[in-house]
Chains A and B, each alone.
Chain A
């Protein structure tokens, strides 16, 4: 098992009772709220001047699989970078368990929150195990060398993502799907309670997309990792996420449980596409079937 932070355990307990969606926006900043209802990660009214996010308020409950959906250029990646603390919002704030991100040191954030970027291009040829071990950075000092414990955590993360057999391979020789899983393993080795994934399936074929979807659910269920996924793939989001936020022109259009957010009206507004939203008769999953471009 991963050496789970006590934080991870906290997230699990906190996510016990789902909240009505209307109350979710910005509740994290209310100090009188009891701990059990406090979201793991919340952004309140933050805005970014240049890349265009305006008055975003979001609350991501601990233990959830949370999807951020939106068309190209709607600000998903920027939002994810703000949530990760890589970009500073011009106004407003992002809080992690009620604490302003700006007040948490870089390395302490990394122990609680891991990021899987959309694509990873290496400047040099690292092995798969070396990539996984990079997830241990926030747990070691600048001069710390990975010990057997860290190697165990990294190998465990590779095993959890089905890439243990690749550990001696050079990363650059892997296929797109293998690379994505190794990068997820590296994030997993960070032993953080929250994982932010940016378009994890954008360059993958259907089989790999299913793999990543199953992996995200599996890690969420077995390890209690809170997953935040930015994607433009409606069906992927519908199949994987419990909760969704719709992002349009840098603003949150709607957020809440997937079935209440992902509606014909929302899709028409987001993409100007007429679509059917239905449940698959066998799996019971939400499906989006685009019909025609709305005029």
Chain B
């Protein structure tokens, strides 16, 4: 063991490796961005009916006669775009929740956002009359409202007892709320008929079969708002990961950062779930894979995860569409089948 406080030999003798956060950021963003772009462009070309890119963009054929273009733009592109949006939102929210809770096993659904969304969606499916007067589709709207409701409860609980935001209470309240909402979901389920039950179960699986661009456009502003907030977070999240007091003593406004992180990540999760349902494991698999590749610095991890999450979920959805074609599986089944074993491996590895 070196005992000297004046051990400066390594500073003079060794040539320290170059450290440039700017270069790491540019390289990671470029690589993951390119990956996401390629996957999103290639995904609509893959499917049980083969189509050719040249024909899709052939302007000489009118759109209503161009079957390739119709499959590309109507059947497959919305699905890829929805996958990109949901994947990036869930992966980025996962990064933020893990840093906020200082827990690498946290997911976007840990704090009950998805359970609230599920309850909202199931209420809308089971009691369709109540919301049919509205001009927008009821299920996504109800699911968004449900997630915001859950977020409000968890936040109120975490701030109720003392000054500041208790991440311990946040975690416990979220886990408990998840269980409680699951009970309410079963309660509502009990009163629904068979067709409603089938719809409910399908919704709970998590699916990107959006059919049109409308729900994507509806979820987009919320996601953009969340990502704008995310831009402020990474540097402070690095310090929060070291500890709240350490962060405060380095000049971080801890409470402000925690609030911003909690609400922005919840908003991203709520928007993603309202669009695709509770698609599991994206929010934990992607951040961990990215950390293995680029290190722990959130300034690199957050944008990389958002981009990689987009590519990952779109790729999973291609698998879901093609694996048992012409049957189209809900993508949530695929991500769970990949994510479950990965999660277990992570648990064992972190011991």
Question: With A115-B246, A117-B246, A134-B239 known to touch, is A129 a contact of B19 (CB < 8 Å)?
Answer: yes
- Residue B33 is within 8 A (CB to CB) of chain A in the complex: no
Compute how far the CA of A153 lies from the CA of B241 in the bound complex, rounded to whole angstroms: 22
Instruction: Determine if B249 and A162 form an interchain contact, defined as CB atoms under 8 angstroms apart.
Output: no
Residue from A85, A123, A130, A151 within 8 A of B102 (CB atoms): A123
Q: Are A120 and B243 in contact (CB under 8 A)?
A: yes
- Once bound together, how far apart are the Cα atoms of A145 and B10, in whole Å? 25
Indicate with 1 or 0, residue by residue over A23-55, a CB within 8 angstroms of chain B CB atoms: 000000000000000000000000000000000
Is chain B's interface secondary structure helix, strand, loop, or mixed overall? loop
Considering residues A108, A151, A177, which has the most beta carbons from chain B within 10 angstroms of its beta carbon?
Answer: A151
Measured CB to CB, the closest approach of chain A to B261, in angstroms, equals 13
Are B296's CB and A126's CB within 8 A?
yes
- Pick the contact of B10: A121, A122, A140, A164 (CB < 8 A): A164
Interface presence of B40 (CB below 8 A): no
Asked if A142 contacts B236 (CB within 8 A), the reply is yes
Residues of B within 8 A of A76 (CB): none
Which residue among B19, B22, B104, B231 has the maximum number of chain A CB atoms within 10 Å of its CB? B19
Chain B residue with the shortest CB-CB distance to A222: B6
Q: Are B11 and A211 in contact (CB under 8 A)?
A: no
B297 proximity list for chain A (CB < 8 A): 126, 130
Question: Nearest chain-A residue to B18 (Cβ)?
Answer: A151
Q: Which residues of A contact B326 (CB under 8 A)?
A: none
Q: A residues 226-279 with Cβ under 8 Å of B?
A: none
Q: Which of A86, A131, A162, A190 contacts B5 (CB 8 A)?
A: A162
Question: Known: A162-B4, A164-B11. Contact between A123 and B251, CB under 8 A?
Answer: no
A124-B296, A162-B6 given; A115·B251 CB < 8 A: no
Within 8 A of B (CB), among A176-226: 177, 190, 196, 207, 210-211, 214-215, 218
Structural contact, B5 and A137, CB atoms closer than 8 A = no
B interface residues, how many (CB within 8 angstroms):
44
Check A190/B242 contact, CB under 8 A, given A151-B19, A162-B5.
Answer: no
A218 with B6: CB separation less than 8 A: yes
Decide if A16 is an interface residue (CB 8 Å cutoff): no
Shortest CB distance B66–A (Å): 46
CA distance A207 to B297 in the complex (A): 33
Point out the residues of chain A lying under 8 angstroms from B252, CB to CB: 106, 137
- The interface residues of chain B lying within 8 Å CB-to-CB of A126 are 238, 241-242, 295-297
A135 B250 Cβ-Cβ under 8 A: yes
Given A120-B246, A124-B291, A142-B235, answer yes or no on A155-B16 (Cβ-Cβ < 8 Å).
yes
CA distance A133 to B296 in the complex (A): 13
User: Does B8 reach chain A (CB closer than 8 Å)?
Assistant: yes
Q: In the complex, A158→B299 CA distance in Å? A: 23
A143 to B102 Cα, complex, angstroms? 22
Name the interface size band of chain A. Answer: 35 or more
B residues 1-17 touching A (CB-CB < 8 Å):
1-8, 10-11, 14, 16-17
Q: Report B60-117 residues with CB < 8 Å from chain A CB.
A: 98-99, 102-104
Contacts of B3 in A (CB 8 A): 162, 207, 210-211
B225 at the interface (CB under 8 A from A): no
- Docked pose: A109 CA to B252 CA in angstroms: 11
Pick the contact of A167: B16, B248, B249 (CB < 8 A): B16
Q: How far is the CA of A190 from the CA of B1 in the complex (A)?
A: 26
Interface status of B245 (Cβ within 8 A of chain A): yes
Given A110-B251, A130-B296, A137-B250, residue A145 in contact with residue B22 (CB < 8 A): yes
Chain B positions 296-314 with a Cβ under 8 Å from a chain A Cβ:
296-297, 299
What CA separation (Å) do A131 and B120 show in the bound complex? Answer: 43
* Inter-chain contact B6/A120, CB cutoff 8 Å: no
Instruction: Say whether A125 contacts B246, CB under 8 Å.
Output: no
**Residues of B in contact with A (beta carbons under 8 Å apart):** 1-8, 10-11, 14, 16-17, 19, 21-22, 25, 98-99, 102-104, 231-232, 235-236, 238-239, 241-243, 245-246, 248-253, 291, 295-297, 299
Show 27 A/B contacts (Cβ-Cβ < 8 Å), sorted by A: A86-B248, A86-B249, A109-B251, A113-B249, A117-B246, A120-B242, A124-B99, A129-B19, A130-B297, A133-B19, A134-B250, A137-B239, A138-B251, A142-B236, A143-B231, A151-B19, A156-B11, A159-B7, A160-B5, A160-B8, A162-B5, A164-B7, A164-B8, A165-B10, A165-B14, A175-B1, A211-B5
